[in-house]
């Protein structure tokens, strides 16, 4: 998931994602044709695409996942990176992330950035990753144990190919003033967020999340009325430092930073399904 820095990875900006402790597991063996045993929507196209990208022969792949699909928490990146780790366990994490980005673009036709795949491949427990999407340089940024990452399901599930995602990207690349205002201000917020993490200024983290949501709502126009209502409700709950729409938008999920000692209070008050997460290590191979 991305803590802050939304819709700027594919424009070469800096972002702050983290791998979370919800896992996708893939196991497989060679076969005559590609096949997937999975409840992940579109799993076969993803698996075939990353296999072909890596030059692997056909496989039968079994997938299980704790990552909810179509909610903005990178279920597709988790699937792709898990399969890539199994097919090419010796591959460098950044190389694998780039291969998975290309595979997802081919499988879906959506011109996704590389951020989700980098977080899934290279995440570190107890840290977020400050990633420069132009140079692909990254550094681990400590993330406080006192903060729980809450993912709130808006109930509005979507397939990105059916949303204006690609249109928003084209507008930003064409320097549409409103879209670029979001991009420039969001990049500044990423740096401010990292500084606030270093100072352990949780209130400032929350203020930056609120600004990010307002920018995504008003300047990038990827929010919805339902999402806005949930975000605004979260802002008023004790123990919640801040919240915003997360992922590509157009529904999906809301991210909130919550005092770890008040997670139950928050979940009861928000009145929706909440997934509480912690940072985690990225992809690995479990030998049996």
Q: How many helices (H) and strands (E) does the chain have?
A: 9, 11
Q: Catalogue the active-site residues.
A: 116
CA–CA separation, 136 and 114 (whole Å) = 9
Residue 230 to residues 152, 224, 252, 270, 272, Cα–Cα distance (Å): 8, 10, 12, 8, 9
201 Cβ contact partners less than 8 Å away, ≥ 6 residues apart? none
162 Cβ contact partners less than 8 Å away, ≥ 6 residues apart? none
Q: DSSP labels for 230-285? A: HHHHHHTSTTEEEEEE-TT-SSSEEEEEEEGGGHHHHHHHH-S-EEEE-B------
CA–CA separation, 35 and 28 (whole Å) = 10
Containing 141, the helix (H) or strand (E) segment is strand 138-142
Q: Cα–Cα–Cα angle for 73, 37, 34, nearest 5°?
A: 105
* C-alpha 94 chain-centroid distance: 16
Q: DSSP labels for 146-209? A: TEEEEEEE-S----GGGTTHHHHHHHHHTT-HHHHHHHHHHHHHHHHHHHHHHHT-HHHHHHHH
CA–CA separation, 40 and 284 (whole Å) = 20
């Amino acid at each position: 998931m991305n803590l802050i820095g939304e819709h700027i990875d594919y424009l070469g900006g800096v972002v702050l994602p983290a791998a979370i402790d919800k896992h996708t597991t893939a196991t497989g063996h060679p076969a005559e044709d590609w096949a997937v045993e999975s409840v992940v929507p579109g799993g076969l196209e993803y698996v075939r695409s990353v296999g072909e990208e890596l030059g692997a022969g056909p496989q039968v792949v079994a997938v299980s996942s704790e990552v909810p699909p179509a909610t903005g928490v990178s279920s597709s990146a988790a699937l792709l990176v898990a399969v890539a780790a199994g097919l090419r366990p010796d591959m460098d994490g950044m190389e694998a992330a780039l291969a998975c980005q290309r595979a997802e673009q081919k499988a879906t036709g959506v011109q996704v950035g590389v951020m989700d795949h980098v977080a899934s491949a290279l995440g570190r427990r107890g840290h977020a990753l400050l990633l420069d999407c132009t140079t692909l340089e990254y550094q681990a940024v400590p993330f406080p144990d006192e903060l729980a990452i809450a993912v709130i399901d808006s109930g509005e599930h979507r397939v990105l190919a059916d949303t204006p995602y690609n249109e928003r990207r084209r507008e930003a690349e064409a320097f549409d003033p409103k879209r670029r205002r979001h991009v420039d201000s969001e990049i500044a917020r990423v740096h401010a967020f990292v500084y606030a993490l270093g100072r352990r200024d949780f209130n400032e983290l929350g203020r930056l999340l609120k600004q990010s949501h307002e920018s995504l709502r008003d300047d990038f126009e990827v929010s919805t009325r339902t999402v806005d209502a949930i975000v605004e409700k979260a802002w008023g709950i004790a123990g919640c430092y801040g919240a915003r729409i997360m992922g590509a938008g157009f529904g999906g999920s809301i991210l909130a930073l919550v005092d770890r000692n008040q997670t139950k209070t928050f979940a009861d008050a928000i009145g929706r399904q909440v997934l509480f997460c912690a940072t985690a290590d990225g992809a690995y191979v479990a030998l049996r």
